[in-house]
C-alpha cells in the first residue's frame, strides 16, 4: 500500500520506478495507491488535476490496476463528503506501508500549511498564496476557489514509513526546519521529527542548511 504525492520533485522517482518496471525488476499488479492530495473544483480528467498528473507521470507507465489507485475527489461539490469518503477507504486499506512526501517552499506537507494545531483526517483547506504560486494548475481560469483536499497530519503519521524528497535551494530552509527545528510541540509542520521511520532524500542544495 503506497501513499503517493504530486509536485515536480517525485517525478524522477516515478520515472525510475517505470524504468524498473520496463526492465522487469518491479511488478505493480498487487500494489494499491492512495494519493495525499488533490486540488478542489477540478474535473479529474483535465490536465491540471492530480488525478491526471498521476496517470500521465506514473500509472499509465506501469502494470497497476487503475481500480487500485485512489486520489481524493476534487470534483465533488460536497468537499466534506469527499474527504470523509476518502478517509474511509484509506483506513480500510490499513494506511500506507510507505508514504512518499514532497515539501513546499514554506514547509507545507500535502496542503498542511503552517498552523498552530495538528490536523487529523482528510479535509479541505484554502490554499495560501505561497502554495498557489507553486501550482501551475492554480493559475488557470478553471480553478474558481483555490482550495485543496488532503490527508491531515494524523493520516500521514499512520504510514509505516515516510520518505520525504526535496530538491533545490528554495527548499533548504524547509528541509532544515523539518529535520532540526524544535518547533514540533507547537508548530505541526515539523511533526515528521516524531515519526519513527522517516527518511529524507534531498540534493545538496536542499540540504545546504543542514550540517
Ligand atoms: C504541492 C503539493 C505538495 C507538494 C508541493 C511541492 O503543494 N500539494 O504535496 O509537496 O506542491 O511541490 P514541488 O515538488 O513541485 O516543489
C-alpha cell at 125: 483547506
85 contacts: CB under 8 Å, gap ≥ 6: 73
- Average pLDDT, integer, range 30-58: 84
Mutate to test the pocket of ligand 1, among 6, 39, 122, 163 (most ligand atoms within 8 A of CB): 6
pLDDT tens by residue, 159-198: 999 999 999 999 999 999 999 887 766 666 788 988 999 9
Which protein residue's CA is at the shortest distance from atom 13 of ligand 1?
7
pLDDT tens by residue, 77-108: 888 899 999 999 999 999 999 999 999 888 88
Q: Is the model's pLDDT at 119 over the cut of 90?
A: no
Residue 84 has a pLDDT of 93
Q: Is the model's pLDDT at 10 over the cut of 90?
A: yes
Q: Is the model's pLDDT at 48 over the cut of 90?
A: no
Active site residues: 37, 106, 108, 113
Q: Which of 12, 9, 63 is nearest to 33 (CA)?
A: 63
Of the pLDDT bands very low, low, confident and very high (cuts 50, 70, 90), residue 141 is very low
Are residues 138 and 127 in contact, defined by beta-carbon separation less than 8 angstroms?
yes
Q: Which of 173, 178, 172, 174 is nearest to 198 (CA)?
A: 178
pLDDT above 90 covers what percent of the chain? 56
Mutate to test the pocket of ligand 1, among 3, 4, 9 (most ligand atoms within 8 A of CB): 9
Of the pLDDT bands very low, low, confident and very high (cuts 50, 70, 90), residue 140 is very low
- Average pLDDT, integer, range 101-126: 85
Q: pTM, whole model, 2 decimals?
A: 0.89
Are residues 2 and 100 in contact, defined by beta-carbon separation less than 8 angstroms?
yes
- Residues 136-157: b if buried by 16+ CB within 10 A, e if exposed: ebbeeeebeebbbbbbbbebbb
Centroid of ligand 1 to alpha carbon of 8 (angstroms)? 7
- Average pLDDT, integer, range 65-77: 92
CA dihedral for 180, 186, 189, 193, sign (positive or negative):
positive
Closest approach atom of ligand 1 to CA 111 = 8
Closest approach atom of ligand 1 to CA 10 = 14
Centroid of ligand 1 to alpha carbon of 131 (angstroms)? 8
Question: What is the pairing mode between strands 147-150 and 123-126?
Answer: antiparallel
Q: Which residues line ligand 1 (CB under 6 A)?
A: 5-9, 36-37, 102-104, 110-111, 131, 134
- Residues 163-176: b if buried by 16+ CB within 10 A, e if exposed: bbbbbbeebbbbbb
Amino acid at each position: 500500500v503506497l501513499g503517493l504525492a504530486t509536485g515536480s520533485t517525485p517525478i524522477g522517482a516515478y520515472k525510475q520506478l517505470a524504468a524498473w518496471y520496463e526492465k522487469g525488476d518491479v511488478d505493480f499488479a498487487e500494489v494499491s495507491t492512495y494519493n495525499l492530495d488533490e486540488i478542489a473544483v477540478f474535473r479529474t480528467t483535465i490536465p491540471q488535476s492530480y488525478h491526471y498528473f498521476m496517470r500521465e507521470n506514473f500509472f499509465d507507465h506501469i502494470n497497476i490496476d487503475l481500480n487500485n489507485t485512489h486520489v481524493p475527489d476534487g470534483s465533488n461539490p460536497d468537499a466534506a463528503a469527499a474527504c470523509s469518503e476518502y478517509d474511509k477507504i484509506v483506513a480500510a486499506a490499513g494506511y500506507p506501508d510507505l508514504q512518499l512526501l514532497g515539501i513546499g517552499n514554506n514547509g507545507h506537507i500535502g496542503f498542511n500549511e503552517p498552523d498552530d494545531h495538528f490536523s487529523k483526517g482528510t479535509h479541505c483547506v484554502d490554499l495560501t498564496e505561497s502554495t498557489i504560486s507553486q501550482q501551475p494548475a492554480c493559475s488557470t481560469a478553471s480553478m474558481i476557489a483555490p482550495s485543496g483536499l488532503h490527508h491531515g497530519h494524523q493520516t500521514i503519521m499512520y504510514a509505516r514509513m515516510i520518505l520525504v524528497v526535496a530538491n533545490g535551494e528554495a527548499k533548504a530552509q524547509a528541509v532544515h526546519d523539518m529535520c532540526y527545528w524544535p518547533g514540533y510541540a507547537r508548530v505541526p509542520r515539523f511533526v515528521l521529527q516524531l515519526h519513527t521511520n522517516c527518511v529524507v532524500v534531498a540534493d545538496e542544495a536542499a540540504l545546504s542548511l543542514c550540517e
